[in-house]
Amino acid sequence: MPPRAISIKVAREEDLSSHIGNDGFYFDLVDFDRVRAFQIPDNTTMSRLKEEIAVEFSIPSQFQRLWLFCKRQNGTWRPVRPFSTEENNLSMTSLHKLLSRTFLFLNPDGVKLFLEVLNDSSPQNLSNDDGLVFLKLYDPEQTQIRYIGMLFVKASSRPSDILPKLRSLAGFCADEEMELYEEIKFEPSAMCEAIDANITFSESQIGHGDIICYQKSSKSLSHHAYPSVEIFFKRIHDLKAVVPVSLLDPYFGNTIIT
Instruction: Give the separation between CA 22 and CA 29, rounded to whole angstroms.
Output: 12
The CATH class given to the 130-251 domain equals: alpha beta
Instruction: Give the separation between CA 202 and CA 154, rounded to whole angstroms.
Output: 8
Tell me the one-letter amino acid at 127.
S
What pLDDT shows up at residue 223? Answer: 80
Burial-class residue 229 by CB neighbours within 10 Å (0-12, 13-18, 19+): buried
Q: Is 51 left (phi over 0), alpha (psi -120 to 50) or beta?
A: alpha
Q: Which of 26-35, 70-79, 139-148, 161-170 has the lowest mean pLDDT?
A: 70-79
Measured in whole angstroms, how far is the alpha carbon of residue 3 from the centre of its chain? 32
* Cα dihedral 19, 24, 25, 31 sign: negative
DSSP 8-state assignment for residue 231: H
Q: How many residues does the structure list for the chain?
A: 258
DSSP 8-state assignment for residue 91: B
CB atoms closer than 10 angstroms to residue 212: 24
Q: Is omega for the bond preceding 188 within 30 degrees of 0, making it cis? A: yes
Q: What is the mean pLDDT of residues 12-31?
A: 95
Q: Convert 19-57 into a string of H (helix), E (strand) and C (coil).
A: HCCECCECCCCCCHHHCEEEEEECCCEHHHHHHHHHHHH
pTM, entire model: 0.90
Measured in whole angstroms, how far is the alpha carbon of residue 251 from the centre of its chain? 24
Asked whether 208 and 128 are in contact (CB, 8 A), the reply is no
What pLDDT shows up at residue 240? Answer: 74
The CATH 3.10.20.90 domain(s) of the chain lie at: 5-117, 130-251
Is residue 206 predicted with pLDDT exceeding 90?
A: yes
pLDDT cut 90: percent of the chain above it? 69
pLDDT in tens, 132-163: 999 999 999 999 999 999 999 999 999 999 99
What pLDDT shows up at residue 258? Answer: 39
Of the ranges 70-84, 90-104, 105-119, 200-214, which is most confident?
A: 200-214
What pLDDT shows up at residue 251? Answer: 54
Is residue 254 predicted with pLDDT exceeding 80?
A: no
pLDDT in tens, 95-131: 877 777 665 445 555 789 999 999 999 998 899 999 9
What pLDDT shows up at residue 248? Answer: 57
Question: Angle 253-256-258 (CA atoms, 0-180°, nearest 5)?
Answer: 145
Burial-class residue 168 by CB neighbours within 10 Å (0-12, 13-18, 19+): exposed
Looking only at the bridges linking them, the beta strands covering 36-41 and 130-139 are unpaired
CB atoms closer than 10 angstroms to residue 231: 17
The CATH class given to the 5-117 domain equals: alpha beta
Q: Any bridge partners for residue 41, and if so which?
A: 5
Instruction: Give the separation between CA 53 and CA 96, rounded to whole angstroms.
Output: 19
Residues in Cβ contact with 76 at an 8 Å cutoff, skipping those fewer than 6 apart? 27, 28, 184, 185, 186
Question: Angle 192-172-130 (CA atoms, 0-180°, nearest 5)?
Answer: 55
